[in-house]
Every structure is written in structure tokens, then in C-alpha cells.
Structure 1
Amino acid sequence: MLHDSPVINVGGLDIDLSVVLMLIVTCMIVFLIARLATRNLSVENPGKMQNFMEWVVEFVQGLISSTMDLKKGKPFLSLGTTLILFIFVGNMLGLPFNIVTEYNDASKAHIFGQEIVSVTEKIHAAQERHPGEEVEVGISWWKSPTADPAVTMGLSAMVFVLVHFVGITRNTKGYFKHYLQPYIFFLPINLIEQLSKLLTLGMRLFANIYAGEVLISVLIALGSSGIIGGIVSIPLLMAWQGFSIFIGSIQAFVFTILTFVYISQVIETHEEH
């Protein structure tokens, strides 16, 4: 079954500690991959990690060249490499296992001196409905950070701001002219189009990864329901995890190439108008 997230309130802001933890883990893994790939660079005898990183860079270069002139897109090579590695690693983290802690006493639901409000509120609400009944609330600490809409929309917002900054600074006249084409009364439609890119870029990634983790939770619950459920759930879980690796890879690819498509639209397409 799905578990709650460990949420604390700091300065009036609700902070999901599992998201913070998983973002740190994702960044550390990506940094470690980059560090291992560039530690002992060699032209004559490159290591496996160097070959892997070279393949990633060449793959991202291929994405750039398929959407825009490579000379114009080369400055975004580091961005694309970081994006595809970060999203891929983030997508994969929720697949192998989960870390869950159970609470049945609201007074013990504290961490770093802060109340875990997602636990205490649920316990208090359940006790009000059923006084005297023991309530147990499980919270999940390990999951894919991209299964949280705040993370994916944050990535999408970053790309959104970057795209429009590039358009304004590198193709100012063509960028603003685009909003009035083909006719001036198309301005509202063109503005809505830009906002829809922000929404769909982030929500597409979130929906695919979250749906995968929901199904994994359902299969795990099926496995704990009995002997028959356990026998049925094992092959289904293995098959779905394999498919989730494919979906996670595709979503990292889609997010990255759409980023380059949006950049190309503001630095190349508008110049042709």
C-alpha cells in the first residue's frame, strides 16, 4: 500500500523530508558518476566509466543536433547531460526497495526536534473518529524524487525560465515577434501555449513515475496478502520493475529532448519569421 511522506513544518512551510533526502542522494550519485568518469582520463586506454560518460555526451550531442544547429546548441551540452543523468537516476531510485517507519504514538513522531505533522495529524484524526483504537501510520523515506510533483514541476520551471531567458537575450526581436504571429489576436493563444509547455513537461514526468510506484506498492501488498498472492506477485513485480526501467529511461529522454526542442524554438525558429 502507499505510505505517507514525512512532512515537517518549518516557518509555515511544509517540507517533505523524503523528497529532500532523495534529491540529495540523486545529486550525490550523479556527482559520483561524473567524478569516476573523469578521474583518470585516457585517450589510449579509457576506462569503463569514461566510455560510459563519452557515450552519454555523444547521445546528448545527437539530441542537440536533431533539434537545432549544433554550434548554437553546444553551450547547452552540459545542461542536457546533467538533466538526463539526474532524471534517469531519480527515476530509478524508487525501484529496488523502500524504507518505511511505523508510528502509533503521536508524541514519538518527531525528527530533528520537529513534529512530523503528516503522522500526528493522521493519528489525531483517526483517534477522534475511533476513540481508544490503536492507529498505526507508516511513512516512506525512500522513493523516486521524480514521483513528487513539486520536484518535476521545479525542473520544468527551471527549463521554462531558461528557455525564455535564452530567447530574450539571444533572439530578442524574433522572440517577442513570435507572440504576435500569425496575427496579433493570437497573443493569448501563444501565451497559453507557453504555459501549457510548463505544465505538461513537469506533469508528464511525474505521472509516469508516480503511476509506476503506485503499481509496485499494489504488487507488494498483493505479495503480503498470502501464499497465493506472494506466488502471483513475484513474477508480476519483476516484470513491472523491468518495464519501469524502460519507462524511466524514456521519460529522461523525453524531458531532455523537449528541453532542446523548446530552446531551438526560441533561438532558431523565430529567426525565420
Structure 2
Amino acid sequence: MHESPIINVGFDIDLSVVIMLIVTCAIVFILAKMSIRNLSVENPSKLQNFMEWVVDFVQGLITSTMDYKKGRPFLSLGITLIMFIFVGNMLGLPFGLVFDYTNAASATFFGHPLTPVVEGLANGSHGVEIAWWKSPTADAAAAMGLALIVFVLVHYLGIVRNPKHYFAHYFKPFFFFFPINVIEQLSKLLTHGMRLFGNIFAGEVLIAVLLKMSAVWYGAIASVIGLVVWQGFSIFVGTIQAFVFTILAMVYISQSLETDEDH
């Protein structure tokens, strides 16, 4: 696997993740902006039709998890999550951007040395390959960051909008279940983020392995066939993971807002 372009500014920053998050945000913003240009009822554009389909799809996710009157304020959140994660999942599939650094002096970013290059060359490596382009969701910190946003929102809604049921559920069905219920909440955070990270990261690892196979003549044909098959499967996996992450977010929100009357 290739190294990440990490710099230290008192703490480590993975530049590839920062860059790819910005690229993902830009693509989602441009898609959203273009879809509402020249809105038409009689002759809607293909992008407008696509965005309307996304809105209807997310509305369906919300109504499947809670009463739509409660869930309507989270429609924008759901649309943003599913589009952001889908686009992020897809970015690492079509191509990669890898540079081989053999000189530590050239491996800098605005005066900050790339830590993996400096350490690798100091340990005797002839060159260090740095990957600048990848899916942001293939990074554990990015995936867990998305999960943490949902986690904080869910518990904020429970405490502010539904405090009686929120605090009571920690002691159900019995008082001594409190530690187990706390662990359950923490496990939701972990599985929510790591499921997304694990699936996308594994896909990019296999793509890297298949590309390595193409370096030798007898692996070229197999790697090309494997890449075509795996790229198609990765699109499917990336789409499913965007759906799973979003619907779980809606499920967790519905659980924080539910009352005894909802049962």
C-alpha cells in the first residue's frame, strides 16, 4: 500500500484526506447548485430529475424509520449524508494519484516535510510512494468523523427534545442494565463509522493489489479482468454503504425522539 501525505504542525494532518474532503464537498455543492438552475415543471433537466429522485428516496428512508412529521426536519441531513458519502466512496475508483519521492528535500508542502517520506528515506528506502488521491471514506478518521457527527446529533436531540425517555431508556429493562446500555450506545458509534471505513478501504486495497499485478506480463490480463469486475462491484458496495450509513442515521435519530406513546 502507498503511504499518506502526512505533515506535522504540532499534530499530524493527512493532506490526502483534507484534499479529498474538499473535493467531495465541492462536487456535492456543484451537483446541488446545478440541479436547481432553470427549474422547470414541464421540461425538467436530467440533473433536476436525479435530485428529485434523491429527495424522494431519502423521504422514503425517513418514513420507514419514523413518522414523517418528526423526520421532516432531517430531510436535508439525509440528502447531504447520502450524496456526500456516495460521491466520496466513488472518488477512489476511477484513478489514483501517486508520486514516488526519492529526495526528502522535494517532499514538502508549504515548507512542511512529508513525514512518511522523511522517515522512509532515513530508514534506507530508495523511494516512498505517496498517494494523494483516494476516497475520503477509506480513511478511518473521516468515516468515524461522519459517525461522530450523527452520534452527537442523536444524543443532543434525545437530551433536548425527549429528556424523560432518553434518560429512562438507559435503565431499561432493569436498573443494573445501565452499563450495558451505555456500551450499546458507544458500539453504535464504532460500528456506524467502521462499517463504512472497512468496506471502502478494503476495496481500495484490492484495487492496489490488482494494479501491482499488472506490473508483470503474466498478471496483466488477470489484473485487467479483475479490475473491471472489482470496479463494478465497488460501485455497488459504495452505493450500498451510502444507503446503510444514511438509514442507520435516521434509525438512531428516530430512537432518540421516540416516546412511550410511539410503541
- TM-score w.r.t. structure 2 length? 0.98
Q: 2:231 aligns to what?
A: 241
Measured in 2, the distance between the counterparts of 1:176 and 1:78 equals 27
Measured in 2, the distance between the counterparts of 1:6 and 1:266 equals 39
Measured in 2, the distance between the counterparts of 1:191 and 1:270 equals 20
Q: 2:190 aligns to what?
A: 199
Q: Kindly provide the CA deviation profile for residues 219-270 of structure 1, in whole angstroms up to 9, marking residues without a partner as x.
A: 00001122x2111111111000000000000000000000000011111255
After superposition, residues 21-40 of structure 1 pair within 5 angstroms as 21-40=19-38
- RMSD over aligned Cα atoms: 1.1
Tell whether the 8 Å contact from 1:174 to 1:271 is kept in structure 2 after alignment: no
Q: 1:5 aligns to what?
A: 4
Q: 2:133 aligns to what?
A: 142
Q: 1:42 aligns to what?
A: 40
Q: 1:89 aligns to what?
A: 87
Tell whether the 8 Å contact from 2:162 to 2:259 is kept in structure 1 after alignment: no
Q: Kindly provide the CA deviation profile for residues 71-91 of structure 1, in whole angstroms up to 9, marking residues without a partner as x.
A: 100000000000000000000
Measured in 2, the distance between the counterparts of 1:183 and 1:75 equals 33
Question: What secondary structure, in the 3-state scheme, does the structure 1 residue paired with 2:123 have?
Answer: helix
Where does the alignment leave 5 or more consecutive residues of structure 1 unmatched?
128-134
Tell whether the 8 Å contact from 1:201 to 1:255 is kept in structure 2 after alignment: yes
1:126 positional shift: 2.3
Question: What secondary structure, in the 3-state scheme, does the structure 1 residue paired with 2:99 have?
Answer: strand
Measured in 2, the distance between the counterparts of 1:113 and 1:16 equals 15
- TM-score w.r.t. structure 1 length? 0.94
One-letter identity of the residue aligned with 1:39: R
Tell whether the 8 Å contact from 2:116 to 2:128 is kept in structure 1 after alignment: no
One-letter identity of the residue aligned with 2:231: Q
Measured in 2, the distance between the counterparts of 1:255 and 1:220 equals 29
The equivalent position to 1:268 in structure 2, one of 247, 258, 263, is 258
Question: What secondary structure, in the 3-state scheme, does the structure 2 residue paired with 1:206 have?
Answer: helix
Aligned length: 263
1:272 positional shift: 4.6
One-letter identity of the residue aligned with 1:178: H
Measured in 2, the distance between the counterparts of 1:154 and 1:114 equals 25
